[in-house]
Amino acid sequence: MNELQQDYDQLRKKTEEIRYNLTAMMAYAGSGHPGGSLSVLEVLTTLYYGGVMRLDRKNPHAEDRDRFIMSKGHASPALYVILADLGYFPAAKLKEFDADDSMLPKHCNRLKTPGVEASTGALGQGFSMALGMALAGKMDGKQYDVYCVLGDGECQSGEVWEAAMAAAKYNLDNFKVIVDNNRLQIDGFTNDIMPLGDLKAKWEAFGFHTQECDGHDLKALRESFDRMDETKDFPHVLIADTVKGKGVSYMENEADWHSRKMTKAEGAAALKEIEQAYAAYGKDIDEKILFLNADELTELKNA
């Protein structure tokens, strides 16, 4: 096995550990948006653990840090688990996801959660805020990049395309967008609700350097981000083809799991499935749980 393959195997191992914690957190809370949180997970682990984003956990407000905006703010659970794992806040706080006055609300809130750069949830607005950050960076002569995750259903919002025009006008090659193209939204398939047509052609027509890849293929994701760095004078978009609810078979490609709450029994079944998948990469995934003690985890798994 070569060194590069070992790196991807370690990234896959980390991804499954995050998936396990993410699922446990949503099951424990009885809250969250499971489908879209799971579909975007490989994108996030590639950004945060795959050597793509420039971050300094010891100085999280460094001016030259890369920025990440979760424009599809309902996928906050995936981001929260990663930020906790990286030490932005105590992992024990994951127990309080979506509780009253929690620092981890159901949608991203920069005033409550360390490491969150923008308050999002109103679809399309996070994209516009990310554009503004990228433009400000260019105007100030800064070297940071701004990464922004959009949902494909979110691309039905007119605000997205207004901002896209501005990104191309100002040649914002520090603006790097990822569309989580899982083809589902809360009411069903995007093609049935409001067809997006040829999404790649649409972004190209708006002046973006455009790529597509399997959004669960870690190597393909990393190579796509590398190509963004090599292409100058254009804003970038990666259309990541994903599966809603990825990694939990009963959730996959089911619109109902956009926002459905897991019962404890459903959570237990999901954890068992993720644990079985993890066996190919590591031993005893229970040791990687970030926020529950052994008794609490056992109770959750035996529900």
pLDDT tens, position by position, 8-39: 999 999 999 999 999 999 999 999 999 999 99
User: What Å distances lie between residue 78 and 52, 162, 205, 207, 297, CA to CA?
Assistant: 18, 28, 31, 30, 19
Model confidence band, residue 57 (pLDDT cutoffs 50, 70, 90)? confident
Pairwise CA distance, residues 144 & 63, whole Å: 8
160: tokens are 């997205």
Position 1 pLDDT exceeds 50: no
pLDDT tens, position by position, 143-194: 999 999 999 999 999 999 999 999 999 999 999 999 999 999 999 999 999 9
Per-residue 3-state assignment (H helix, E strand, C coil) for the chain: CCHHHHHHHHHHHHHHHHHHHHHHHHHHHCCCCHHHHHHCHHHHHHHHHCCCCCCCCCCCCCCCCCEEEECCHHHHHHHHHHHHHCCCCCHHHHHHCCCCCCCCCCCCCCCCCCCCCCCCCCCCHHHHHHHHHHHHHHHCCCCCCEEEEEECHHHHCHHHHHHHHHHHHCCCCCEEEEEEECCEECCEEHHHHCCCCCHHHHHHHCCCEEEEEECCCHHHHHHHHHHHHHCCCCCEEEEEECCCCCCCCCCCCCHHHHCCCCCHHHHHHHHHHHHHHHCCCCCCHHHHCCCCCHHHHHHHHCC
**Average per-residue pLDDT in the chain?**
96
**Other beta carbons less than 10 A from residue 132's beta carbon:** 14
pLDDT tens, position by position, 92-142: 999 999 999 999 999 999 999 999 999 999 999 999 999 999 999 999 999
pLDDT computed for residue 141 by the predictor: 97
pLDDT tens, position by position, 217-271: 999 999 999 999 999 999 999 999 999 999 999 999 999 999 999 999 999 999 9
Position 6 pLDDT exceeds 80: no
Pairwise CA distance, residues 222 & 214, whole Å: 11
**What fold does the segment set 35-255 form as a domain?**
Rossmann fold (3.40.50)
Domain ranges of the chain: 35-255
Where is average pLDDT lowest: 3-12, 47-56, 208-217?
A: 3-12
pLDDT computed for residue 205 by the predictor: 98
Instruction: Please give the model's pTM, rounded to 2 decimal places.
Output: 0.96
Q: What percent of the chain clears pLDDT 70, i.e. is strictly above it?
A: 98
Position 2 pLDDT exceeds 90: no
